[in-house]
Amino acid sequence: MIHNPPDLAHFERVAQETVSGFPPAFREGASNVVLRVVEWPPADMVEELDLHSPVELTGLYEGIPMTQKSVLDMAPPPDFVWIFREPILDEWRVRDGVELDDLIAHVVVHEFAHHFGWSDDDIAAIDQWWL
């Protein structure tokens, strides 16, 4: 067991490498999304999502999915993908045999899938990870 889990810089590196590894069309679509890696989800975010605990939220996409954007829209605020270190570490500790970097990358891909217009149900239909 790791006594000193990787710091935020490690999580940021893995998250950035994951996005850099997207196929070109997806990498281009992800280029305008602000990637934020922080220790915990902000309290107002946890409250707004009606979660019992911040540990329930490993990542979050905030924005307008590409499938819903229009060139006629006023300039919207930037889209964000949030990655939360402590909740990911908590999940990693209870998952047997999952590499931490794989879990970080998985959360990143999941949240960017929302940016590309996929719902949780769409993702679950092809991704058995969360079962």
- Convert 93-116 into a string of H (helix), E (strand) and C (coil): HHCCCCCHHHHHHHHHHHHHHHHC
DSSP class of residue 63?
S
- Please give the CATH topology (third level) of the domain spanning 8-64+75-121: Zincin-like (3.30.2010)
The rounded distance, in Å, linking the Cα atoms of 47 and 74 is: 29
Total-model pTM: 0.88
Q: Tally the C-alpha atoms within 13 A of residue 20's C-alpha that lie toward its C-beta.
A: 6
The rounded distance, in Å, linking the Cα atoms of 46 and 54 is: 6
Tens place of pLDDT for every residue, the chain, 131 residues?
A: 456 889 999 999 999 999 999 999 899 999 989 999 999 999 999 999 999 999 999 999 999 888 887 777 777 788 999 999 999 999 999 988 889 999 999 999 999 999 998 888 878 777 766 54
